């Protein structure tokens, strides 16, 4: 069984791109980590606040990763500082989604303190362990932002509470770990250091001349790149001031500032402030604010630059230095937080004190005066940075999840068993609400087909093959009515000689289609079982049935897959879990047997008639039954 993980990232949606005021490293972290963990066998749902009214609630990011939009507060972009009051609604909505879908998550991975609050509450209510990556700590932010910090005053206390209850707290660098222990009293053994990562498929060196040609940058220019969110704490003013300390007459210096979004008020104000600074220092000729750029363009900027600079006041981790290094560009970074961990001073670039334009200008000068040294550092950076590839980071997170889950298992060995029962019960309950009518419809069609002298062909793979045979055995044999005739049903996955011969000689995809061709007649029913609705042999069987005039009915799960699109009638179990779907399939097969058997018994003149269940209803012809079901009269039977 796949482990199901719920990510919570209340303000940073993995769907958002880099560069706006409220989108940055955390968006990338959540998206990349989820994708990598899915490749390691996890099923991941990422819960994030809905920011527009139009988008559907569930968006698939990739196979096994879904983004779930949670209604909490207005369906519009709001700054993260203003989200806190909506968190109770967020928690309630998330909880009701989990209950509705009948999902049993093994673990929650919260991102940022407000998500941590939700995770802490869900742990108490649903007994799910949680891991948290804070991405930033309120205590540190307060030190630097002072009265400009608009987060609620409770933040630090809530963070302390989260730390007490979390099963593990991911520190992104040694400084982060030290802060968590010293300032928040975290237990050292619960704080592994796992850095942020980068994706080498997005960030790799492009030949400098090519990159520059694409971006309209002259070959002779000395390019300093600043890239990322445009907010005061990123210290972009420091970079501009450093530029003014360089001998601008000597070299063709150019500072390119990537990031910022005009319509976002906070970002716009900071850009205005920076632009004023540029004009006060008379640097207009030397500074280009190029705005926010698509993620796939960033590698060209990194590759075109001679040096990447980033001198924030503080930085919990900072992904941009990794991206720059991966493009073979040396980095000059502030000697703070994650930057002093990811940038090796004197090897992959330099570390300088934050808010010290002279120190920054000195190091820029060193790199520009010694191009061989800059090249050596860039080359080394590109090799060194590989250890931060997302796949390696995800290995460490995977290891952490396993430890947390193992500890939970030791504490409560029956936990997973109980959880599976609870999940199954929820799937049964949800199915009663969602698909009772579809089941009835399918049963009625099959009983009518049999009454008209037709037969049922059934097929499925693996567990579904077993259910297929189970179904035909009940119909050919007897189910609840002991005196009825055998009903014509044939399982297409039961004859191993046909299966092996056709699969061996022609391939597996047509093993069922071939038999539909051989046995199927107009008016017969093809009944397919598939949890995914994506098995090729099932799709081909449906196609053959269509050509031959059979009625097609599919018993499916998940989103119904391609089968749901091509088959005439569907019963789709509302669950994402193959096992739970199969368990429901067995139950539905039994229900179908009841409906078919009752339908046939009620209609045929039998020697030993007994009053079958729902007799008046079962005696109706299928069309009348369906009209009855859809009429205003209240049907008192199952699932009404
Ligand atoms: O029983 C199980 C899983 O619980 C398996 O045997 C499973 O049925 C097989 O993987 C099938 O090949 C899956 O096919 P499908 O349900 O996606 O059409
Ligand atoms: Zn199974």
Over the stretch 575-624, which tens digit does the pLDDT of each residue have? 988 999 999 999 999 999 999 999 998 888 655 544 444 545 655 666 67
Per-residue pLDDT reduced to its tens digit, 25-40: 788 899 999 999 999 9
**What confidence category does residue 142 fall into, taking pLDDT thresholds of 50, 70 and 90?**
confident
**Closest CA to ligand 1's atom 10:** 462
pLDDT of residue 545: 98
Query: How large is the average pLDDT for residues 411-440?
Result: 90
**What confidence category does residue 143 fall into, taking pLDDT thresholds of 50, 70 and 90?**
confident
Strands lying side by side in the sheet with 130-133: 58-62, 65-70, 42-49, 3-8, 107-111, 130-133, 168-170
Per-residue pLDDT reduced to its tens digit, 273-313: 999 999 999 999 999 999 988 888 999 999 999 999 999 99
Q: CB–CB of 25/196 below 8 Å?
A: yes
SS3 content of the chain, % helix, strand, coil (to 5): 50, 15, 35
**Measured in angstroms, how far is the CA atom of residue 437 from the centroid of ligand 1?**
25
pLDDT of residue 294: 87
Q: What are the beta bridge partners of residue 289?
A: 257
Q: Look up residue 615 and give its two tokens.
A: 């007799």
pLDDT of residue 316: 86
**What confidence category does residue 456 fall into, taking pLDDT thresholds of 50, 70 and 90?**
very high
**Measured in angstroms, how far is the CA atom of residue 461 from the centroid of ligand 2?**
10
**Lowest-confidence region among 142-156, 196-210, 567-581, 587-601:** 142-156
- What ipTM does the predicted assembly reach? 0.94
- CA 168 – CA 408 distance, rounded (Å): 12
Q: Is 562 in the pocket of ligand 1 (CB under 6 A)?
A: no
Q: Is 579 in the pocket of ligand 1 (CB under 6 A)?
A: yes
Q: Is 493 in the pocket of ligand 1 (CB under 6 A)?
A: no
Q: CB–CB of 60/47 below 8 Å?
A: no
pLDDT of residue 639: 35
- CA 332 – CA 334 distance, rounded (Å): 7
**Measured in angstroms, how far is the CA atom of residue 573 from the centroid of ligand 2?**
15
- 185 class by beta-carbon count within 10 Å (0-12 exposed, 13-18 middle, 19+ buried): exposed
Q: Is 329 in the pocket of ligand 1 (CB under 6 A)?
A: no
Atom of ligand 1 nearest to the CA of 538: 18
Atom of ligand 1 nearest to the CA of 460: 18
- CA 43 – CA 4 distance, rounded (Å): 5
User: Is the model's pLDDT at 346 over the cut of 80?
Assistant: yes
Residues belonging to the binding site for substrate are 461-463, 474, 504-505, 530-532, 535, 582
E-only strand ranges, 141-195: 168-170
Residue 543 makes CB contacts below 8 A (sequence gap 6+) with 513, 566
CA nearest neighbour of 636 among 614, 619, 621, 620: 614
**What confidence category does residue 636 fall into, taking pLDDT thresholds of 50, 70 and 90?**
very low
- CA 517 – CA 494 distance, rounded (Å): 16
**What confidence category does residue 449 fall into, taking pLDDT thresholds of 50, 70 and 90?**
very high
- CA 230 – CA 292 distance, rounded (Å): 10
User: Is the model's pLDDT at 494 over the cut of 90?
Assistant: yes
Q: CB–CB of 626/444 below 8 Å?
A: yes
Backbone angles phi, psi at 491, to 5 degrees: -90, 125
Query: How large is the average pLDDT for residues 557-577?
Result: 95
* Number of other CB atoms surrounding residue 59 within 10 Å: 16
Q: Is 115 in the pocket of ligand 1 (CB under 6 A)?
A: no
Helix (H, G, I), strand (E, B) or coil at 92: helix
CA nearest neighbour of 422 among 555, 531, 560, 583: 583
pLDDT of residue 627: 72
Q: How far does CA 73 lie from the centroid of its chain?
A: 22
**Lowest-confidence region among 175-189, 335-349, 522-536, 597-611:** 597-611
Element (H, E) at 218: none
Q: CB–CB of 520/500 below 8 Å?
A: no
Cα R_g (the chain), whole angstroms:
31
Q: Which ligand is nearest the CA of 531, by number?
A: 1
pLDDT of residue 100: 85
Q: Kindly write down the DSSP assignment for every residue of 6-65, as one continuous string.
A: EEE-SS--TTSPTTSTT-SHHHHHHHHHHHHHHHTTEEEEEEEE---SSS-SEEEEETTE
Query: How large is the average pLDDT for residues 446-452?
Result: 96
Per-residue pLDDT reduced to its tens digit, 235-277: 999 999 999 999 877 778 899 999 976 545 555 688 999 999 9
Higher pLDDT, 292 or 453: 453
Percent of the chain at pLDDT > 70 equals 92
Residue 172 makes CB contacts below 8 A (sequence gap 6+) with 133, 135, 193, 194, 195, 196, 316, 317, 338
Best probe residue, ligand 1, of 461, 535, 564, 579 (max atoms within 8 Å of C-beta)? 461
pLDDT of residue 146: 72
Q: CB–CB of 563/530 below 8 Å?
A: yes
Interstrand relation of 456-460 and 489-491 (parallel, antiparallel or unpaired) = parallel
Average pLDDT score, the chain: 90
**What confidence category does residue 196 fall into, taking pLDDT thresholds of 50, 70 and 90?**
very high
**Lowest-confidence region among 91-95, 97-101, 113-117, 603-607:** 603-607
Higher pLDDT, 294 or 446: 446
Query: How large is the average pLDDT for residues 325-352?
Result: 96
Per-residue pLDDT reduced to its tens digit, 375-405: 999 999 999 999 999 999 999 999 999 999 9
Q: Is 2 in the pocket of ligand 1 (CB under 6 A)?
A: no
User: Is the model's pLDDT at 347 over the cut of 80?
Assistant: yes
Question: How many residues are recorded in the chain?
Answer: 640
**What confidence category does residue 19 fall into, taking pLDDT thresholds of 50, 70 and 90?**
very low
Best probe residue, ligand 1, of 464, 511, 535, 571 (max atoms within 8 Å of C-beta)? 464
Residue 504 makes CB contacts below 8 A (sequence gap 6+) with none
- CA 549 – CA 202 distance, rounded (Å): 50
Backbone angles phi, psi at 289, to 5 degrees: -90, 110
Q: Is 403 in the pocket of ligand 1 (CB under 6 A)?
A: no
- Domains in the chain (CATH in brackets) are 3-197+392-413 (3.40.50.2000), 208-387 (3.40.50.2000), 433-630 (3.40.50.10490)
**Closest CA to ligand 1's atom 7:** 462
**Lowest-confidence region among 109-118, 158-167, 505-514, 594-603:** 594-603
* DSSP 8-state class, residue 453: T
Q: Is 530 in the pocket of ligand 1 (CB under 6 A)?
A: yes
Q: Is 463 in the pocket of ligand 1 (CB under 6 A)?
A: yes
Q: How far does CA 277 lie from the centroid of its chain?
A: 41
**Widest pairwise Cα distance in the chain:** 109
């Amino acid at each position: 069984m796949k482990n199901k993980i719920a990510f919570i990232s209340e303000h940073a949606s993995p769907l958002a791109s880099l560069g706006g005021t409220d989108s940055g490293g955390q968006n990338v972290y959540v998206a990349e980590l989820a994708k990598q963990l899915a490749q390691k066998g996890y099923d991941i749902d990422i819960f994030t606040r809905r920011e527009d009214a139009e988008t559907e609630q569930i968006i698939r990011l990739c196979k096994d990763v879904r983004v779930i939009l949670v209604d909490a507060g207005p369906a519009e972009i709001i700054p993260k500082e203003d989200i806190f009051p909506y968190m109770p609604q967020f928690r309630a909505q998330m909880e009701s989604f989990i209950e509705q879908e009948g999902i049993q998550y093994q673990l929650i991975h919260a991102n940022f303190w407000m998500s941590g609050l939700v995770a802490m509450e869900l742990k108490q209510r649903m007994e799910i362990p949680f891991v948290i990556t804070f991405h930033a700590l309120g205590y540190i932010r307060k030190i630097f932002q002072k009265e400009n910090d608009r987060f609620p005053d409770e933040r630090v206390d809530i963070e302390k509470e989260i730390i007490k209850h979390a099963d593990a707290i991911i520190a992104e660098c040694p400084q982060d770990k030290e802060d968590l222990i010293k300032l928040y009293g975290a237990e050292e053994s619960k704080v592994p250091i796992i850095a942020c990562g980068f994706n080498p498929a997005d960030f790799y060196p492009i030949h400098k001349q090519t990159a520059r040609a694409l971006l309209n940058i002259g070959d002779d220019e000395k390019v300093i790149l600043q890239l990322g969110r445009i907010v005061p704490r990123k210290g972009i003013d420091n970079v501009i001031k450093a530029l003014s300390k360089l001998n601008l007459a000597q070299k063709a210096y150019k500072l390119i500032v990537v990031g910022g979004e005009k319509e976002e008020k906070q970002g716009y104000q900071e850009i205005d402030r920076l632009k004023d600074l540029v004009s006060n220092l008379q640097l207009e000729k030397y500074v280009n604010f190029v705005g926010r750029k698509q993620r796939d363009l960033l590698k060209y900027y990194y590759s075109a630059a001679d040096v990447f600079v980033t001198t924030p006041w503080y930085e919990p981790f900072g992904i941009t230095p990794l991206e720059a290094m991966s493009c073979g560009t040396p980095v000059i970074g502030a000697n703070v937080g994650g930057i002093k961990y990811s940038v090796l001073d004197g090897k992959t670039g330099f570390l300088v004190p934050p808010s010290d334009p002279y120190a920054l200008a000195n190091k820029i000068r060193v790199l520009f005066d010694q191009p061989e040294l800059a090249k050596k550092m860039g080359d080394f950076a590109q090799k060194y940075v590989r250890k931060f590839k997302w796949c390696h980071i995800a290995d460490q997170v995977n290891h952490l999840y396993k430890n947390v889950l193992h500890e939970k298992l030791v504490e409560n060995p029956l936990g997973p068993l109980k959880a599976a029962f609870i999940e199954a019960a929820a799937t049964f309950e949800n199915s009663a609400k969602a698909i009772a009518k579809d089941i009835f419809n399918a049963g009625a069609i099959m009983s009518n087909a049999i009454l008209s002298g037709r037969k049922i062909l059934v097929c499925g793979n693996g567990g579904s093959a077993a259910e297929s045979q189970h179904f035909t055995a009940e119909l050919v044999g007897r189910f609840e009515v002991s005196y009825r005739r055998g009903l014509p049903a044939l399982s297409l996955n039961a004859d191993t000689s046909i299966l092996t011969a056709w699969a061996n000689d022609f391939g597996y995809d047509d093993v069922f289609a071939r038999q539909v061709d051989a046995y199927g007649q107009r008016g017969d029913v093809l009944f397919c079982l598939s949890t995914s609705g994506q098995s090729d042999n099932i799709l081909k069987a449906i196609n053959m049935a269509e050509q031959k005039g059979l009625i097609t009915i599919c018993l499916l799960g998940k989103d119904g897959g391609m089968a749901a699109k091509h088959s005439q009638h569907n019963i789709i179990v509302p669950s994402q879990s193959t096992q739970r779907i199969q368990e429901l399939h067995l139950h539905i097969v039994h229900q179908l047997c009841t409906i078919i058997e009752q339908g046939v018994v009620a209609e045929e003149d039998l020697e030993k008639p007994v009053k079958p269940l729902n007799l008046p209803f079962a005696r109706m012809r299928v069309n009348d039954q369906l009209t009855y079901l859809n009429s205003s009269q209240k049907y008192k039977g199952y699932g009404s």
